[in-house]
Structure 1
Amino acid sequence: MTTEEPGVVTMRTGCPEVKATVAMDGVHIPNQRPQIVEAKGLSRSRQDSLYEVVSP
């Protein structure tokens, strides 16, 4: 997608490129990136469990 054509993707299915609309009419597509969600990680007990069970 580009800012010039929001909601439209360009695909190469063969020699000519094909454009397809992936958004419905009237749907707002934001021009900004989504907020980053940080992963919480694994608890110490889960790390120990994986180490004992998976690593051997």
Structure 2
Amino acid sequence: MTTEEPGVVTMRTEVGCPEVKVTEAMDDVHIPYQRPQILERKGLSINRQEYL
């Protein structure tokens, strides 16, 4: 799936076959492109640091 064609997946039905584009969304449904949320690492607790 790409930002240019949201909701469209490119796949192959068998090994060596040409690629086929399949729409995964219903008609007239807009799929907004959103970047994934960035998660911050919490780090190790003092107890875990001492254990390791």
| TM-score of the pair, normalised by structure 1 | 0.56
Alignment match of 1:44 (pick from 25, 43, 46): 46
Structure 1, 3-12 or 33-42: larger mean CA deviation? 3-12
What is aligned with 1:11?
11
SS at 2:47's partner residue?
Answer: helix
Q: Which runs of 5+ in 1 are unaligned?
A: 52-56
Q: Name the one with the larger helix percent.
A: 1
RMSD: 2.2
Instruction: Give the total of aligned pairs.
Output: 49
Other structure's SS at 2:49 match = helix
Flag the structure with more relative contact order, 1 or 2, with Cα contacts below 8 A and sequence separation at least 6: 2
Identity of aligned residues (%): 73
